[in-house]
A and B are shown apart, each in its own frame.
Chain A
């Protein structure tokens, strides 16, 4: 046995060296394009995500122009959009396509893939002390599938009838009948292909994240020593793994209806005076399948942002996160509960009122863990030694948006109120604050905070502040007025309100919102410039610019293959030892053993370590003796 092993080992070493030789001779393609390094893949996700976000933002400005000036012609629109804006007026069907693709890109491509893809890939190996992901190859595949999905989604702008137009929730019958409207034709087919690829990409990513968190933590890194970022990414990945296959099932049935003529979702229906050949299907079935994914999906979007905010706020308040365990348990609570609330999107589908009541109760219960998290963030800020870095400001911005958007969720969760508010601008306001703005702010907080880790340089702070304030104020100016529109019954996804007497008065508000949106969009130029300029010309970063305790800051600034030049460091303590009384500095890295921090240790630190506790007590005794001598 022993000889066999020795022999094996020799082989192993030789192979290893050989492998290494290969890695160092990286070509441009293997380093920047088909890279299997988690750091490079994270950057690929980030930059693709940013590009998609800019595109989706431009789409939103286009349809905002229509809402603000429904009667005006803008010749430049015809110049850039051609047949989609004849005579400088946006085509009504194209308006629907814009709304649909804006939503799809923002929810899936930016806030799901861009956010999880970037930060799970970057931070899971870094903060857990792993050399890479469990399966780097799958990881690479995951990015390239995402990339292909993005290209196909954008390609739908170039088909004759334009992109999908049924809304990001692609309800049948619009999505199931290619002839129903222009946005149901080839554009919808491309949407479906793109999303299937997208789901495959997310599943591969998610499987990797879960497997890495469970199998590849460094010595000493037990689950309760993981930073909240990792907890959030881990639970997000589990949500995705359980929810996305359900969307695929729903889409498979949809494809059968679309292409083979089955009647899963379609019942007797007349399109353009022609009786279609469908009988007995149930469009509500699709809504069940969609929202069983859809609701967890909104938490897939917000949970990584929450994790990032927790980390950034703790570091920059120079305080341990308040209620670490409560934070983890509320993440777990959200994960579990998010699977039993989907019905709140369907209160008006003629659902049995009793069932509606059940969904109402589960929905209101999910507000509890959300509120626990909010209070813990506020308590973390309370009397902190706050450093207002741009990352910190964006994290605080997340908390603000999460509160203002979460409160309206409670309104909507009550079936009696929702029957009035459903499909109005009130819902638009709710989810753009709680999901859109909050998650984007979490993502931006992460970008500002971990930029030095990704690129070895710092972003400019002044531009960061400008970006923050314009975006923060802009987002409130855009979305807050929408609440009042919704309360007055202004429906969402309408092309123009000019024909409806009672809604005409909202035109001035729409104009105001559009200008606020244009301002916030311009503010992003500050970010884009800052981001790309700093990659090449930013101030050089030090190894641990924020005086952080977590493992990623123990790696060299140069970001080498395998992350740590020597052995992977061992972890001795939780990640939030900031401003610990008695310590020399206001942070103690996770890699510092308790034996080196005698003056700051507390009995509590040795809860599951009896030998440590005895040593600590002995040390205390010697201290007392010394004091008596003095």
Chain B
């Protein structure tokens, strides 16, 4: 019996794929570490390189949105485990909504920066860094949203529970990760404000 289940597992072969996701998070982590280290090196180069602006308030709201979205994502996973598929979908919808809200708020934050006359093209590249760092993060948000949409769409089709849980897990690992990364990036930028 055990051997048969084992074979079944081999066929689906999900564990290594989940593992792949974790390793991918490492690459992504290194990417953001490189950007922030680059920031440190740049700012350390000269007094005029410091981040002399106050970051727009909107970043506060977007951070709130993404933290909330992590919560709804967590709830969606929990409902999926308890076989409450209707609720799972509801929370996934909410997560997608909050994710889009985050996206839009970030764009508004850029607009606020522009209104402050702090453009991407800037003699003080530490401000360009704010754009590049949040922009690179937004690309990750886009990927995360696609993953969640994939999970949601498949949950409407007749997907076996094993796969549903697997999709759920893959998308929530990634989503929580980019949530944490954003908090890191935001706190990092806040601490470097002068």
Contacts and interface: CB of A to CB of B under 8 A. Distances in A.
B17 A210 contact: no
Contacts of A260: 120-121
Given A8-B8, A16-B11, A212-B16, A261 B121 contact: yes
B85 interface: no
Contact of B30 (A134, A138, A242): A242
Main secondary structure of the interface of A (DSSP, over half): helix
Contacts of A289: 34, 38
Given A245-B31, A245-B34, A12 B8 contact: yes
Contact of B34 (A215, A249, A264, A282): A249
Contact of B20 (A9, A135, A243, A262): A135
Given A253-B132, A256-B132, A282-B42, A245 B20 contact: no
Interface pairs A-B: 8 shortest CB-CB: A134-B16, A249-B34, A279-B123, A245-B31, A246-B34, A245-B30, A215-B16, A262-B128
A250 B34 contact: yes
Interface stretch (B43-51, B55-63, B146-154, B164-172): B43-51
B41 interface: yes
A598 interface: no
B23 interface: yes
A279 B48 CA distance: 11
A386 interface: no
A560 interface: no
A211 interface: yes
A138 B37 CA distance: 30
A438 B24 CA distance: 31
B48 A280 contact: yes
Interface of B: 1, 4-5, 7-8, 11, 13, 15-17, 19-20, 23-24, 26-28, 30-35, 37-38, 41-42, 45-46, 48-49, 120-125, 128-129, 132, 136
A393 B5 CA distance: 48
A282 B49 CA distance: 10
A2 B2 CA distance: 10
Contact of B128 (A212, A246, A249, A263): A263
A211 B19 contact: yes
Interface of A: 2, 5-6, 8-9, 12, 15-16, 134-135, 138, 203, 206-208, 210-212, 214-216, 241-246, 248-250, 252-253, 256, 260-264, 279-282, 284-285, 288-289, 292
Given A244-B27, A279-B123, A281-B125, A211 B20 contact: yes
A195 to B, nearest CB: 15
Interface-centre pick from A261, A264, A284, A292 (highest chain B CB count, 10 A): A264
Given A242-B30, A246-B30, A264-B42, A215 B121 contact: no
B23 A246 contact: no
